Structure 1
Amino acid sequence: MKRLEKMKKIHGILAIIITALLVWKMRQNGMYVVILIALMWATMGLYWVKFLHAYLLRSISLLLAIVSGVYGYYFETYHGYSHSFLNAIYSTIHLFFLNVDNVFNKAADPYASLPLSIEVARWSAAFYTISTISKFVLSYFGQSVRGIWLRFKGGHIIIAGFSEKAAILIENLRKEGYSVTVIEETIDNEQKNQLFDLGVSFYTGEMTEYSLYKKSGLSRAGYVILFHDDDSVNLDIYLAMRDYLEEDLLPEKCRCPLIGLFGGSKHKDPITILLHLNHAKSLQVYNGLVIDESEKYRSYSFSSYQLIAEKMLKERPLYEGIEEQLRDPAGDPLHLLLIGFGKVNQQIAYQALNVSHFLNRKRVRLTILDRNIEKVKKQWGHLAKFADQVADIDYRKVDLTVHNIKEELGEINGRVTHVFLALRDDYLDMIEGLELVETCPDIPVYIKMKDDRKVSMWLHKDQSEFKQIQRFSYFREVLNSEFVLNVNLKKLAKQAHENYQRRREELNLPTSKAWDMLDAFKQESTRYQMLHNDTKLMLLGLTKVPLNDPEYSQQVLSAEQFAEYIIPYIEPLAYVEHERWNAFHLLRGWKAAGEINAPREELDRLKLHQYLVPWNELTNEIKQYDRDSIIYLNEYYRAQNYGLVKI
């Protein structure tokens, strides 16, 4: 759509320029110039004919060729030739075969100058013919050539499933320069045209058939994203791909040495498989499957609602505006009011419980209003296993179509710090949100509305009467490489793991596996530690600034200054970090190992951990790992080209 708007602007500008340039020609050939100018402006109307969008340039060139050709051959031929209308049409048709009937001089000299109308007609016809043939050839052979190239080159992204959300992701990945291949059971002609225009290879067939994986170059891919609407289909494909990769990924010495000649490289890194799973039960099944994963691939689960929650809490952290309250050991807790507890609000609550750990040492409070409270409570229990050990939760059955939100607010204990509105009706969301702003003008209110609702964007940007209203993030804002592939954050998590390894070496303890050999759960645990780092900075009274910004060059703390500054904070923040680590494990169903004595791998399989205990029960040696998360903060930010300054 953006490309279409750009084409329309260019067309309009060209129409104005050509109109101006051709005006002087009107003295010599006034009639045709008027027709040409009229054509330039009339074809602007084609932008509103939806089914022509894919053929817009060819449609315009076709009209120019026909109108200009018929005019030239009828009105501008040499006076000795017949001015037959049928002859004009016949000669115009010849133009599309790259042949010009030269009837414009007595000698029929092919090198003589041609009238302006015929010049326009023959070049427009040539463009139409060549582009049509090219489109036809590419539609049949371009797909094969692109696919063969990707199979040799490798490193591409395979997306299994072509849903509405997958289409958004594909478009964003292509804009970012990624090579993408789509596999799906069936793809209709409109979808094929869409993928072709995006430069995406696609293959159809049974989604668990090895032949489809071979065609798409699965064993050479960098990422595989399973994005079918049905979770069970994604799980089936995941299992089939696992079996295929186990058979297809040969030992390094068995690989063909000719691969490098085609721009490829031997596949050293594990293939990353990303499964889109919306339902907590599906996630539970998946967690049981990943135990048996090979080192040849790594899989991670995600949901589009999870990405929305992560983006919202990243862009506007929950501590924003109440920093002093959360730094104060006696300060009030964070208190979220969630109105409507569907998938997106459940994910917001889940993310909040993962990253909302502060110096006030108070458990987060959640007040949940929903008309189907027992149903959503059960769903929430599948997603957040031991949430009641991490937060104080108040469930209330409320139907806002018959109850007044102001009355409900009066019955809630404690001060609410944030409101998240996600009802099933956009209009009700907006009305309740505006009413909440009137009642609690200082509390940020987040409203979920559809992507195409301009009113939600207006309310989001309004900085006067409705400045506290914020919209939920949209799917198109999170279905991209930053959030789905998460390359940068995983790189930083890898660095944090290396710091952890270094500390174990310093303590003469056996090191754990290298980052790439860790299972997905341990990598995810480190990633969430990184997500909490900005919160730690806030609690330290520091903020990050670009290292190369001359405005802050004198204020950026050196390594020595940082080490001295954090001394009084290390112990209280290490406590916070351990609470965050405990919450991460509890929310995913882990328990304390207690007196059970078993190998680490067996405890992991049973979701048991010997350090899932209160801070004061840890040994000093283990506490040091939590302290290190504070000590290495400066290194973490400098790796991103940020320096730290005092607020």
Structure 2
Amino acid sequence: MKSVFAHRDEHERRSTIYFLILFSVSFVCGVVGSAMVYGTAGPWHERIIQTLYSTGRLYVFEGTLDIEIGPWPYEIARWAAPATTVVGIFAIFESLLWQARQRVRRAKKGHVTVLGSNEETLIFVNNLREEYPDQTIQVIVPDDVDEIFIRRLQSSRALVRMMRFEHPSSGRFKRALRRLNLDDARAVVSFEDEPASFAHIRVISRALGDLKQRIAVYIESNDRRIQTIVKDVMDDCPNMNVNYFSARELVTSALIDDPAFTIVPRHESTDRPALARTYRDVAQVVPSPHFLIIGFASLGQDMVLHLTNSAVTNPIAPIRFTIVDPEVELRWENFIARRPEHERVMSVRRVATSTENQLFTDLVKEISETDPPTAVLYCQPDTQESILSIDFVARYIQDAKVAVYSPAHDQHEILTEAISARGIDVVFFGDLDDSLTGTNVFSESLYQRAKDFNVEYSRAYAQVESRALSSAEQLEQLVKEAHSQWELLDAFKKESSLAQARHESTKAWVLGVLNDKFVNTSVAQVVADWKRQLVDAPGQGQERVENQVRVIEADPLMNYMCALEHKRWANFHYMRGYSYGEFSDVGRTHPSLVDDWDEFLTNEDLRGKTGTPLRYQVIYDMLSVLLVADERL
């Protein structure tokens, strides 16, 4: 992450340099010219005083020498000194004028309001300005914020508001809040420290009262424990649609979405299609990834959390992790303390060593021979140590994708070139300038895909309840209801929908593998055939759903894809502390967390939280597959 001083505006730096040059020239010329006029007569200390006094008078537009034309240095100073004064006065009044405008100017409709006074705030505001040049941005800061920080925001043309939250019922606070014009905001983004960020958003929510539409709020939360505790309170803000993000998650998401990096294992193409009678036969030929994680502090833990959702390729074979960290045992215990069902999600091997130890080199050699990693992810803070480590183990990881955390990887460019010459293609991640953008924080494309799935989900649910959608008007009404329901979802359910959307690229890869291994025609043709079979299923309402479930059961490839989505969904819940039981958000239990897919499909005594048979939920799993095909094929 770059420091505050690294964000100084280039124009401001040049202006400062020009002012210093002008002042230096005028002062030197004034001193030299005055000295030439006064000569060498008189005591030396009097001559110095006369020279400095004469020079100083030039800056107030009045010289002390009663001559028409003086020596050439003095003549230069006669023009340069007043010009220096004018430039300085203009700079002072420009600052005062800007401050006055800040006090009276109101944010335009559709503005973005940012709360925070840290470097992440600066980076986000600068990136937002580059993405949306005409966007009105106002930043709420405490009244004791550093002046340098204010000037950095000024250089991005942001409106800066100083606000205290200690007395939210005071008239001063309410007047300040009205000036923010938040009811017309496109979004409110908070980078404040936890838990103050939650408290301030709730104070604002209470003060605003009823609004025509809910405000989209995005709160940076790097501590899931705090987020879990305050979730219900924040969900009760009736005029706000609260979402959460973290800089670390944006960093990991940017890496996993990077086209130069891959999280899926390699597979060999086949000329002759294989024969599959059940989804278990399919699972035997679809590989599951193995990740080597170096460094298991906060970033490494977030990476594991992300991969247990996004990298699921097989509903039977778990994702495998080899985690290397000198303090791995303590950090692992802290990591699983709130995840009692973690063993249902992944198979983990932990090695307590550093990358500088020979044990690490021996470990990498061993796994390269027995279980080659799909990807090697260096999540430790020391970028140089990571790159030097790659040099030692390069010959063992040439077939794996390698990623290195580096907040400023340009500083290690020469080392990177040397490593690339050894046949290792390194992808760097971690630069907040690249990941802390409006596009990533707002996740508009990801949210849209999640909303599209919510519409299809509602359509399928209407089918289960025997509500036919026979007209365009009924369908349009359903879409409106689905979007309204989305806005009313709590933060956890939205996060679950977003996790489903983040798995789309992996599903698309699995579909390609299934086509290559078992069909060998085209994925589009396979998916079209699946759709036709489901659409042609006879009956109405639940009878039709039952017939569609039977179609899925009978087709091992469709069955496999549904089992895969169920596994991903279960992983997401397990990694957030859920376990099997009657539905309870408070107790973190869910009746759909059944790992045995055969039992899930055949045991009619198993019921979901609405009382319908669990097997009917396979329709929703299939929807996620068909939507991926529509989006990506």
Per the TM superposition, whether the score is higher than 0.5 is yes
2:587 to 598, 606, 610: 606
- Aligned-pair CA distance for 1:350: 0.9
Cα distance between partner residues in 2 of 1:325 and 1:285 = 48
Matches within 5 A, 1:180-191: 180-184=138-142, 186-191=144-149
Q: Secondary structure at the match of 1:534?
A: helix
1:143 to 99, 103, 113: 99
Deviations 1:103-140 (A, max 9, x none): 79xxxxxxxxxx9x9999979966x6666445433433
Matches within 5 A, 1:182-331: 182-184=140-142, 186-204=144-162, 206-210=164-168, 211=172, 215=176, 217=180, 219-220=182-183, 221-228=185-192, 230=193, 234-252=194-212, 268-277=213-222, 279-287=223-231, 289-290=233-234, 292-315=235-258, 316-319=260-263, 322-324=266-268, 329-331=284-286
Q: TM-score, normalised by structure 2?
A: 0.71
Question: Which ranges of structure 2 fall in alignment gaps of 5 or more residues?
Answer: 37-49, 271-281, 468-480, 514-521, 533-554, 602-613
Q: Secondary structure at the match of 1:301?
A: strand
Is it true that 1:626 corresponds to 2:621 in the alignment? yes
Matches within 5 A, 1:491-640: 491-508=448-465, 514-541=485-512, 563-564=528-529, 569-593=557-581, 596=582, 603-614=584-595, 615-616=597-598, 617-618=600-601, 619-637=614-632
CA contact (8 A) 2:231 2:491 kept: no
Identity %: 18
- Aligned-pair CA distance for 1:312: 0.8
2:344 to 389, 393, 397: 389
CA contact (8 A) 2:59 2:85 kept: no
Is it true that 1:437 corresponds to 2:432 in the alignment? no
1:215 partner amino acid: A
Cα distance between partner residues in 2 of 1:462 and 1:476 = 24
1:142 partner amino acid: W
2:254 partner amino acid: K
The change in CA–CA distance for 1:131 and 1:493 in structure 2 (over 3 A counts) is farther
Deviations 1:543-591 (A, max 9, x none): xxxxxxxxxxxxxx99989624877754322221121111111111122
The change in CA–CA distance for 1:218 and 1:558 in structure 2 (over 3 A counts) is farther
- Aligned-pair CA distance for 1:272: 1.0
CA contact (8 A) 2:27 2:77 kept: no
Root-mean-square deviation (Å):
4.3
- Aligned-pair CA distance for 1:461: 9.4
Count of matched residue pairs: 531
Question: Which ranges of structure 1 fall in alignment gaps of 5 or more residues?
Answer: 8-46, 76-83, 105-114, 253-267, 543-556, 638-643
Which range moved further: 134-143 or 172-181? Answer: 134-143
Matches within 5 A, 1:49-68: 55-60=16-21, 62=23
Cα distance between partner residues in 2 of 1:146 and 1:204 = 10
- Aligned-pair CA distance for 1:390: 0.7
Q: Secondary structure at the match of 1:395?
A: strand
Deviations 1:171-220 (A, max 9, x none): 22232234131313521222222222222333445455435685362743
Q: Secondary structure at the match of 2:188?
A: strand
CA contact (8 A) 2:450 2:501 kept: yes
2:201 partner amino acid: M
The change in CA–CA distance for 1:500 and 1:332 in structure 2 (over 3 A counts) is closer
Q: Secondary structure at the match of 1:503?
A: helix
- Aligned-pair CA distance for 1:605: 3.8
* 1:369 corresponding residue in structure 2: 324
Which range moved further: 330-339 or 133-142? Answer: 133-142
1:574 partner amino acid: C
* 2:435 corresponding residue in structure 1: 478
Q: TM-score, normalised by structure 1?
A: 0.70
Which gives a bigger RCO, structure 1 or 2 (Cα 8 Å, sep 6+)?
Answer: 2
CA contact (8 A) 2:60 2:85 kept: no
CA contact (8 A) 2:9 2:155 kept: no
CA contact (8 A) 1:330 1:360 kept: no
Deviations 1:223-268 (A, max 9, x none): 333323x4xxx2233124313312323354xxxxxxxxxxxxxxx2
The change in CA–CA distance for 1:583 and 1:93 in structure 2 (over 3 A counts) is same
The change in CA–CA distance for 1:184 and 1:222 in structure 2 (over 3 A counts) is farther
CA contact (8 A) 2:327 2:352 kept: yes
- Aligned-pair CA distance for 1:392: 0.8
1:467 to 414, 424, 427: 424
